[in-house]
């Protein structure tokens, strides 16, 4: 059994050995032939009525009886000698018969004893063979039981092996399914990662572009501020030159002061008369009939005012560039004021905020307002002053 490693191989070898033993025992019991009796227990020679029934004689004595006919033939050839010989033979015969009778009795006794012994030995042999046969049958029965048990064990082991095989196949299928699922999840994770990286790159590119745009706008705003500063300086120089020219003309103006005062008085009187007659200026809150923003026609004066305020506020909020000041965040407050002249145009725009860039942007957007229908006071068009506070949420 040392060459068999698995339990299944060992059990198979045991069963093979048991089957071989059963076959050998069957051959031993079924194939055994009884031996014939030995020749010394064979057929007895009968010498006539004088021999005992069933008695046996020695073979050399049988030869004496067989030679008797030859002597009788010789007596017929020699009649004279025959009588003498016959008498002698009769005497010898009698002696021999007596000896034969004594010997036959002894032989019969010995033969009876031998036959009894033979029968006893035969009985013992039969009993031994019967015992051996019973033992062999018992061993065969036990071998059958062991074979049945071995077959049962083999069947159980086969069923166990099949169950283990089924479990192993199920485990392999589960492992394969798990591996496929993990591969799919890994693939999806990889694709998600690639998408995230692509989105991050796109976002970075957008942020970079936005940053460049902000830088360009800041540069443009700085340039505009520089231009405004240059204009202011030029205006200041012009004002200075004008002041100097005015100083130079002061003497002449002093001489003409009285004439100017008279002219001014006349002009004031004319302006007052013109205001009373129409064409003057009033506030948006006091106007009799407010200017009409495009799309706000119809309705009461209060409805026209509310519509105009909503439209102007929406227009400024829509067109205001919230990216112009990268250093500003959160909500910024801006106060805008302007006038709507008698032609309906927006003029005299001004703005106040914490940063000059916001002021310039508020003026720029206000200049884009559309032309309106002028306000009316006492049936005549007048200039209307308008103020609008707004709050702008800057881009972060």
With CA atoms as reference, report the closest residue to 339 among 311, 295, 381, 296.
381
Where does a domain end: 137, 172, 207?
172
Beta bridge partners, 283, equal 385
Is there a domain that residue 2 lies in?
A: no
Q: Tell me how far apart the alpha carbons of residues 9 and 104 are, in angstroms, rounded to a whole number.
A: 70
Task: Provide the pLDDT for residue 93.
Answer: 67
Is there a domain that residue 213 lies in?
A: no
Q: Do residues 156 and 12 share a domain?
A: yes
Is there a domain that residue 252 lies in?
A: no
> Which residue has tokens 């692509």?
198
> How many structural domains is the chain composed of?
2
Q: Tell me how far apart the alpha carbons of residues 391 and 331 are, in angstroms, rounded to a whole number.
A: 6
Q: Do residues 165 and 24 share a domain?
A: yes
Is there a domain that residue 28 lies in?
A: yes
Q: Tell me how far apart the alpha carbons of residues 68 and 174 are, in angstroms, rounded to a whole number.
A: 108
> Which tokens is 189 given?
């994770």
Q: Tell me how far apart the alpha carbons of residues 71 and 214 are, in angstroms, rounded to a whole number.
A: 168
**Strands (DSSP E) along 194-241, which ranges?**
none
DSSP 392: E
Task: Provide the pLDDT for residue 242.
Answer: 64
Task: Provide the pLDDT for residue 123.
Answer: 87
Task: Provide the pLDDT for residue 53.
Answer: 45
Is there a domain that residue 98 lies in?
A: yes
388 close to 339: Cβ distance less than 8 angstroms: no
Where does a domain end: 172, 187, 209?
172
Q: Do residues 289 and 160 share a domain?
A: no
Is there a domain that residue 302 lies in?
A: yes
Q: Do residues 286 and 167 share a domain?
A: no
**Residue-level pLDDT, tens digit, the chain, 396 residues:** 455 678 778 888 889 999 999 998 888 877 655 455 554 444 444 444 444 444 444 444 434 344 444 444 444 545 555 566 666 666 666 666 666 666 677 778 888 888 888 888 988 888 888 888 888 888 888 888 888 888 888 888 888 888 999 999 999 999 999 999 999 999 998 998 998 888 888 888 888 888 888 888 888 878 887 887 877 787 777 667 766 766 666 666 666 666 666 665 555 544 444 444 445 789 999 999 999 999 998 889 999 999 999 999 999 989 988 887 777 788 889 999 999 999 999 999 999 998 888 899 999 999 999 999 999 998 899 999 999 898 888 766
Q: Tell me how far apart the alpha carbons of residues 389 and 337 are, in angstroms, rounded to a whole number.
A: 8
Residue 325 is part of which domain span? 279-396
Beta bridge partners, 376, equal 289, 381
| Helix or strand run (H / E) with residue 45 | none
Q: Do residues 24 and 143 share a domain?
A: yes
Q: Tell me how far apart the alpha carbons of residues 283 and 218 are, in angstroms, rounded to a whole number.
A: 36
Q: Do residues 164 and 287 share a domain?
A: no
Q: Do residues 159 and 30 share a domain?
A: yes
Q: Do residues 21 and 146 share a domain?
A: yes
DSSP 335: E
Is there a domain that residue 341 lies in?
A: yes
- CATH number, position 329: 3.30.1150
With CA atoms as reference, report the closest residue to 38 among 106, 103, 122.
122
Where does a domain end: 139, 172, 205?
172
Is there a domain that residue 214 lies in?
A: no
**Entry pTM:** 0.33
């Amino acid at each position: 059994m040392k060459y068999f490693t698995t339990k299944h191989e060992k059990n198979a070898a045991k069963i093979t050995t048991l089957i071989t033993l059963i076959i050998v025992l069957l051959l031993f019991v079924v194939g055994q032939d009884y031996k014939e009796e030995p020749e010394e227990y064979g057929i007895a020679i009968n010498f006539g009525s004088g021999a005992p029934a069933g008695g046996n004689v020695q073979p050399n004595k049988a030869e004496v009886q067989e030679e008797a006919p030859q002597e009788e033939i010789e007596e017929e050839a020699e009649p004279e000698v025959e009588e003498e010989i016959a008498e002698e033979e009769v005497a010898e015969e009698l002696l021999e018969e007596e000896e034969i009778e004594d010997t036959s009795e002894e032989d019969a006794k010995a033969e009876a004893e031998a036959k009894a012994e033979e029968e006893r030995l035969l009985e013992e042999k039969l009993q031994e063979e019967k015992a051996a046969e019973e033992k062999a049958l018992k061993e065969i029965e036990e071998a059958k039981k062991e074979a049945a048990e071995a077959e049962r064990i083999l069947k159980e082991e086969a069923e166990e092996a099949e169950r283990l095989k089924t479990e192993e196949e199920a485990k392999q299928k589960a492992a394969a399914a798990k591996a496929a699922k993990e591969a799919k999840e890994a693939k999806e994770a990889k694709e998600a990662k690639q998408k995230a990286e692509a989105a991050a790159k796109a976002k970075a590119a957008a942020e970079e572009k936005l940053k460049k745009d902000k830088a360009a706008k800041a540069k443009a705003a700085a340039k505009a501020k520089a231009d405004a500063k240059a204009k202011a300086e030029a205006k200041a120089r012009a004002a200075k030159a004008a002041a100097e020219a005015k100083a130079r003309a002061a003497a002449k103006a002093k001489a003409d002061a009285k004439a100017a005062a008279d002219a001014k008085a006349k002009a004031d009187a004319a302006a007052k008369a013109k205001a009373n007659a129409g064409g003057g200026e009033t506030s948006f809150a006091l106007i009799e009939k407010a200017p009409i923003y495009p799309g706000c026609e119809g309705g009461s004066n209060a409805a026209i005012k509310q519509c105009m305020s909503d439209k102007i506020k929406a227009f400024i909020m829509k067109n205001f560039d919230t990216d112009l000041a990268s250093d500003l965040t959160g909500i910024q407050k801006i106060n805008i004021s302007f006038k709507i002249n008698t032609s309906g145009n927006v003029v005299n725009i001004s703005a106040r905020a914490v940063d000059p860039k916001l002021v310039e942007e508020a003026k720029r957007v206000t200049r884009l307002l559309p032309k309106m229908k002028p306000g009316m006071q006492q049936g005549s068009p007048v200039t209307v002053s308008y103020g609008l506070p707004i709050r702008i949420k800057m881009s972060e």
